[in-house]
Amino acid sequence: MKVFKFGGASVNSVERIKQIAEILLLYKDEKKLVVISAMGKTTNALEKVAGAFFRGEKEEALELFNHIKNQHITTAKYLLITHYNATFEQLSHLFTEAEWTLHDTPVKDYDYYYDQIVCLGELLSTTIISAYLNEKGVANTWIDVRDIIRTDDSFREAAVDWDITSENVQRLIVPLFEKNDMVITQGFLGATDENESTTLGREGSDYTAAVFANLLQADSATIWKDVEGVMNADPKVFDNAMLIDELNYDEVIEMAYYGAQVIHPKTVRPLQNKNIPLYVKCFLDPSLPGTVIHNKVLKHLPPIIVVKNNQVLLHLHSNDFSFIGVGKLLRLYQIFVEYKVRPGLIQAGAVSLMACIDERDDRTERLATEAAAIFDVQVEKGLTLLTIRHYTPEVVEELTAGKSIVLRQQTKDTLQMLIK
């Protein structure tokens, strides 16, 4: 059994969807569970719908939604002939499901509505792609992942209930492989025990693939991307970024922790626990080797560079002349928990503490206001957090030349700098 995940970029056009059929044919003698994301920027577009709906701008929400509808209908028309009518019916049911919500008046939390609306992206993409593959003779069964992945009700960041999900996989997924050797389902989604839709956090489809690989005891999981594999830096920012052909689980966890947009941070553990290798491969050219991530001690990794923009540095000073003891730290961390903030860098001194966090909407201000009860707070915005794993003097020199460094912290393996 293999688990494949195709991300938004690999299904963002008719040509690319056709390419998926080619890739799947390369593995035609194997059992495959295929996890697919929403097409292109659909999730972002649905976020806008959810936002407009929640602000009470019903017309705007419906108009934005109509645009998404038309895009999907157009894609289905281009791809399907014999399966078009039946697929159009299925899409219409999904549209209606969302439209019911949009005609409501919001009475619950934003995060709840977000999940009920945003989940549509994956349901639409998989419906169209599954039909296209069946029409082309690449036989597969489509399943609604919300019947399989059970989560709690932490909307937008739902936690998987492994016991119930595992039972569902055995009971509902495993028998499907008797019919044909491919099951197609949605990434990123789950449902509560009350059948409310949930999402697992942005870019969560990678994690879905890992959950299935774990529960199906897959031989491997493969994430198909529009890049050659895992690079040592973002190729859009660094011309000399290079492919890393082999990594281990721990290194990938470190990279994700520091903000590398390679793989969703929660993806690694379920694979590591069962020692399942993860391949990152390029769907534009499946003959390229890509990157393999497994359980191996690796020496001589190249410097790995992670850049995070839009960072805010909180300067916190004790406001009562006392040292910053554990009591104050505890209260500060409680505030971080409350605002779902994980500081990327913290430096503590006797009477002051600096914490670097991602800037996100008005959260920074609200958090700073709350922290002002314990500290004098100053907020410095517009910073960049640069992390270099396996740093060398040359790379540090190259990346810091002419820059003003606000804060610097280093261990044997990792150097972090906050840059203005």
Number of H helices, E strands in the chain: 13, 16
Q: Which residue is nearest to ligand ASP (CB)?
A: 205
Q: Which stretch binds Mg ion (CB under 5 A): 4-12, 250-258, 338-346, 348-356?
A: 4-12
**For Mg ion, which is the closer residue by CB, 102 or 262?**
262
CA terminus-to-terminus distance, the chain:
48
The entry of ligand ASP, Mg ion, none near residue 38 (CB within 5 to 8 angstroms by kind) is ligand ASP
**For ligand ASP, which is the closer residue by CB, 8 or 344?**
8
**For ligand ASP, which is the closer residue by CB, 208 or 416?**
208
The entry of ligand ASP, Mg ion, none near residue 183 (CB within 5 to 8 angstroms by kind) is none
CB of 125 to ligand ASP, least distance (A): 9
CB atoms within 10 A of CB 417: 22
Beta bridge partners of 152: none
**For ligand ASP, which is the closer residue by CB, 188 or 212?**
188
CB of 358 to ligand ASP, least distance (A): 16
DSSP state of 182: E
**Touching Mg ion, residues 281-310 (CB under 5 A):** none
Q: Write the interaction track for Mg ion spanning residues 202-231; mark x where CB under 5 A is met and - where it is not.
A: ------------------------------
- Helices assigned H by DSSP within 169-267: 205-215, 249-257
Q: Which stretch binds Mg ion (CB under 5 A): 35-43, 227-235, 238-246, 299-307?
A: 35-43
CB of 48 to Mg ion, least distance (A): 16
CB of 5 to ligand ASP, least distance (A): 8
Gap between the Cα atoms of 142 and 414, Å rounded: 44
Across the beta sheet with 291-294, the strand order is 141-142, 182-186, 32-36, 2-6, 220-225, 278-282, 291-294, 246-248
Q: Which stretch binds Mg ion (CB under 5 A): 31-39, 63-71, 270-278, 295-303?
A: 31-39
**For ligand ASP, which is the closer residue by CB, 206 or 254?**
206
Gap between the Cα atoms of 312 and 23, Å rounded: 43
Gap between the Cα atoms of 288 and 305, Å rounded: 23
**For ligand ASP, which is the closer residue by CB, 261 or 334?**
261
The entry of Mg ion, ligand ASP, none near residue 181 (CB within 5 to 8 angstroms by kind) is none
Q: Which stretch binds Mg ion (CB under 5 A): 36-44, 71-79, 89-97, 184-192?
A: 36-44
**For ligand ASP, which is the closer residue by CB, 180 or 261?**
261
* Block residue for tokens 């936002």: 51
CB of 107 to ligand ASP, least distance (A): 26
**For Mg ion, which is the closer residue by CB, 90 or 205?**
205
The Cα angle at residue 122 between residues 114 and 279, in degrees rounded to 5: 120
**With contact defined as beta carbons under 8 Å apart, do 246 and 296 qualify?**
yes
% helix, strand, coil for the chain, step of 5: 40, 25, 35
The single-letter code of the amino acid at 113 is: Y
The entry of ligand ASP, Mg ion, none near residue 188 (CB within 5 to 8 angstroms by kind) is ligand ASP
Options 3, 5, 8, 387; binder of Mg ion; rule CB under 5 A: 8
DSSP state of 152: -
Q: Which residue is nearest to Mg ion (CB)?
A: 8
The entry of Mg ion, ligand ASP, none near residue 190 (CB within 5 to 8 angstroms by kind) is none
* Block residue for tokens 């799947």: 24
Token pair listed for 291: 């990157």
| Phi and psi angles of residue 380, each rounded to the nearest 5 degrees, phi first | -115, 120
Residues in contact with 379: Cβ distance below 8 Å, sequence separation at least 6, in sequence order: 312, 313, 314, 315, 364, 365, 368
Q: Which residues of 378-402 are buried (b: 16+ CB within 10 A; e: fewer)?
A: eeeeebebbbbbbbeeebbeebbee
The entry of Mg ion, ligand ASP, none near residue 229 (CB within 5 to 8 angstroms by kind) is none
CB of 148 to ligand ASP, least distance (A): 16
Residues that bind ligand ASP (CB under 6 A): 7-8, 37-38, 43, 121, 187-188, 202-205
Does residue 37 interact with Mg ion by CB under 5 A?
A: yes
Token pair listed for 55: 């602000």
The entry of ligand ASP, Mg ion, none near residue 344 (CB within 5 to 8 angstroms by kind) is none
CB of 185 to ligand ASP, least distance (A): 13
